Amino acid sequence: VIPHAIPTERISDRYAVNWSERLHLGTANGLGSLPGRVSLSCFFKAKAKGNGGLRSVKVIHKSHIVYPRLFQQQLSDMYHLEHPNICRLQDVYEDDHHIFLIYDYLAGPSLLEKSIGDGQFCERDAAAAFKAVLQA
């Protein structure tokens, strides 16, 4: 059992998830998938029913979790992190086969995509981004 997990029967009570439209992370700016990366999860876009805020739903198959205790500890740590430069984990749901992580939805390219995508990521931008990561 995952800490803070809510049974999946209630995911639809709080979020309207578009299960038919998978988010393709890592493909912005024409990057495509990165070599050597294996996807063990997928993302879907959702809307919070209470306030209408956009969310990302990360779906992980439980069979892909190699170290369950470590995974549970990482989830607990992520759940309690609050920083303006970190995507906030809002909720965790689980069923018999999957874990559903509900994050704030962030539009636009990732830091990696921005740094290698258009060639406009100068040393000053990299230093500012690195500083923000370290401060988190």
Q: Which residues are within 8 A (CB) of 104 and not within 5 positions of it... i.e. 6 or more apart? A: 53, 54, 55, 56, 87, 88, 90
Q: Is residue 69 part of a domain?
A: yes
Q: Is residue 102 part of a domain?
A: yes
Q: Is residue 130 part of a domain?
A: no
Q: How far apart are CA 62 and CA 99, in angstroms?
A: 7
Show the tokens assigned to 76: 């607990």
**pLDDT (tens digit per residue) in 84-113:** 777 889 999 988 888 999 998 887 777 667
Q: Is residue 133 part of a domain?
A: no
Q: Is residue 64 part of a domain?
A: yes
Domain that holds residue 84: 5-107
Q: How far apart are CA 4 and CA 78, in angstroms?
A: 11
Q: Is residue 78 part of a domain?
A: yes
Is the model's pLDDT at 28 over the cut of 80? no
Q: Among 109, 104, 87, 121, which Cα is nearest to 27's?
A: 109
Q: How far apart are CA 74 and CA 1, in angstroms?
A: 14
Q: What is the pLDDT of residue 130?
A: 77
More confident residue, 20 or 111: 20
What's the number of domains the chain is made of? 1
**pLDDT (tens digit per residue) in 40-81:** 678 899 999 989 899 999 999 999 899 989 998 998 888 888
Task: Read off the CATH number of the domain in which 10 is found.
Answer: 3.30.200.20
pTM score over 0.75: no
Q: How far apart are CA 124 and CA 136, in angstroms?
A: 19
- Across the beta sheet with 15-23, what order do the strands follow? 5-7, 89-94, 98-104, 54-61, 41-48, 15-23
DSSP structural state of residue 136: -
Looking at residue 53, its amino acid is G
